[in-house]
Amino acid sequence: MDRISHLRLFVEAARLASFSAAARKLGLTRDQASKQIAALEAEVGSPLFARSTRNVTLSSAGQALLGRAEAIVAMVDEALGEVRGLSQAPRGPLRVNAPMSFGQRYLAPLIAAFHAAYPEVYLRLDLDDSFVDPVRSGADVTLRIAHLPEQLDLVARPIAVAPRWLVASPGHLAAGDEPSEPEQLTSRACLHYGEAASTSLWHFEPAEGAETRPVSVPVRGPVCSNNGDLLMRAAVDGLGFTVLPAFLVQDALATGQLRHVLPGWRVTPDIGVFALYASSARSSPAVRAFIDFVGPRLGEALDATTARGGRLSPPAPA
């Protein structure tokens, strides 16, 4: 008995509540479909459907089998798709979503080289600072900057890990507002991600060798945003303190527009850059080509940017 074919028919019949509809979808006759279901029921030793003149519904045995049958069929389809994809050149449309600042700064410089390597792939790049679920949105790949992958049911390929730094403008610090301990930030103007009326929680660990315990500090301020460049500009303009990834603020630190604050403390956790995609997209040659091409290059660019100030040790205040 061809168990995979029979399980595939069983899954389709359960979804469509009809042997005839499932048979048409799979290119079978009604009689062939009935015989395959009967053979599967004989093998499991129990009816899988309750039949009526209009439709079919799952029996208790059918309900118990359905979840596992769906997983088996999906696994077989994914494996066959991956094997087929090995012999296919990447081509066709590819929709990629990325955060606005990150996409403009790090992804955009790689597009010409990617196109030269894969001229038959047609990119659609959507830059959006809100999380985009690739399963629901139609995006093939979503690049996200996060502590952990937002969706555990997605494949998350790590690209890079970077520290985050507490920064403020020299002018803001010169006004006598520089803290000496993280707890003092509760009374300072802090620029953060989230809603304006909400309180954000910043976490700090002491520098290596220090005996002070980690602390978590609730902060609020006059400006919040879901865009890192906007928060950085607000900090440069002297509106307060902000915590941002090192690769975003490194240039502003190098030019003196911003200064690192509380150098004896690390903001935790370090932040990760992930490529997220549905497990079914693993077999797509275009998806694999894009991630394999941009992943290492993005990682190198982020590491190089961060290394200019030391991977976990930003430049000391002047």
Residue 277 is predicted with a pLDDT of 85
Q: Mean pLDDT across the chain, nearest whole number? A: 84
* SS3 readout for 117-172: HCCCEEEEEEECCCCCCHHHHCCCEEEEEECCCCCCCCEEEEEEEEEEEEEECHHH
Taking only the tens place, the pLDDT of each residue in 176-190 is 778 999 999 999 999
CB 219 within 8 A of CB 190: yes
Residues in the chain: 318
**Based on C-alpha coordinates, what's the Rg of the chain?**
27
Buried residues in 99-118 as b, exposed as e (16+ CB within 10 A): bbbbbebbbeeeeeebeeeb
Domains 3-86 and 93-318 share a fold: no
Q: First CA to last CA across the chain, in angstroms? A: 77
> Over 90: is that where the pLDDT of 160 sits?
no
The answer to whether domain 93-318 has CATH 3.40.190.290 is yes
Residues 49 and 41: their CA atoms lie apart, in Å, by 9
The string of pLDDT tens digits covering residues 101-150 is 889 889 999 999 999 999 999 999 998 877 766 666 778 898 988 765 45
pLDDT digits (tens, 9 = 90+) for 295-311: 999 888 887 766 654 43
Name the band, by pLDDT with cuts 50, 70 and 90, for residue 166.
very high
* pLDDT value of position 309: 45
pLDDT at 155: 82
Per-residue confidence (pLDDT) for residue 317, from 0 to 100? 37
- Where exactly are the structural domains of the chain? 3-86, 93-318
> Is residue 198 very low, low, confident or very high in pLDDT (cuts 50, 70, 90)?
low
Class of domain 3-86: mainly alpha
Q: How confident is the model at residue 284 (pLDDT cuts 50, 70, 90)?
A: confident
Tokens of 194: 């989230």
How far apart CA 152 and CA 303 sit, in angstroms, is 26
What is the rounded distance in angstroms from the CA atom of residue 73 to the CA atom of residue 8? Answer: 6
| 145 compared with 195, residue with greater pLDDT | 145
Q: Which tokens is 23 given?
A: 């048979």
Other residues' Cβ atoms within 10 Å of the Cβ of residue 2: 10
pLDDT of 134: 67
Tell which wins on pLDDT, 52 or 65.
65
CA-CA distance, 234 to 196, in Å (whole number)? 14
